[in-house]
A and B are shown apart, each in its own frame.
Chain A
Amino acid sequence: DSGVTQTPKHLITATGQRVTLRCSPRSGDLSVYWYQQSLDQGLQFLIQYYNGEERAKGNILERFSAQQFPDLHSELNLSSLELGDSALYFCASSVDWGNSGANVLTFGAGSRLTVL
């Protein structure tokens, strides 16, 4: 158990629907990151939140949004789902000491989304 908790583990839905993925970071970690992993794309960075604020944005579609709450858990919202959104979605967290030193990201077990 990495200490990063993601729910649900599996989700099957239909095209056009909306889903919410939830992530609880490791105790003490202030940053949360969302990644998408599909067979042909590898691990793609979507977005990072630090202590409730958006910190960095990657290749996140406009149909996707995220937020981090005061208790530091985060949610990734995926709307108007398409077949191509089927993937593993990972959340990671880190302490994030700002810009000094490298920060190790600890990953959760992922949420597998299947869009039919």
Chain B
Amino acid sequence: EDQVTQSPEALRLQEGESSSLNCSYTVSGLRGLFWYRQDPGKGPEFLFTLYSAGEEKEKERLKATLTKKESFLHITAPKPEDSATYLCAVQAGGNAGNMLTFGGGTRLMVKP
């Protein structure tokens, strides 16, 4: 069974204070690892897909990296508008359909 664990559950940062969110996963044949951002009461918004260990992707203040067992979302000099819940998910290969298995999320709060 595919499993995704995210830590910490919640993270409070001061504006400009860089940090990293962790996503540990076990999956039978990784097709892709996904990061989404979710604002309260809204649907998850796609950020990145990573396909293989060693891959990195960047978008503004966010950088996602992938190893064979975990992924990190690095947030550099965050701003209050980066406050949201960040979700990690895996998509398995084979004939399991293309659904995503999500972790519990990290709730990020950035104070000015």
Contact = CB atoms under 8 A, between A and B. Distances in A.
Interface string A10-48: 000000000000000000000101000000001101001
Interface stretch (A64-72, A75-83, A98-106): A98-106
B69 interface: no
A40 to B, nearest CB: 10
Contacts of A42: 102-105
* Across the A-B interface, the 3 shortest Cβ-Cβ residue pairs: A56-B97, A102-B32, A107-B43
A48 B99 CA distance: 7
Contacts of B99: 33, 45, 48, 56, 58, 105
Nearest to A90: B43
Contacts of A108: 43
Nearest to B30: A102
B31 interface: yes
Dominant secondary structure at the B interface: loop
A96 interface: yes
Interface of B: 31-32, 34, 36, 41-46, 49, 51, 87, 89, 91, 93-105
A2 B38 CA distance: 13
B87 A99 contact: no
B45 A107 contact: yes
A105 B94 contact: no
B34 A104 contact: yes
B41, B43, B87: most-surrounded residue (chain A CB, <10 A): B43
Given A42-B105, A56-B97, A103-B98, A110 B31 contact: no
Contact of B51 (A58, A102, A105): A102
Given A45-B99, A110-B43, 7 more contacts: A42-B102, A45-B101, A92-B43, A103-B98, A106-B46, A107-B44, A110-B41
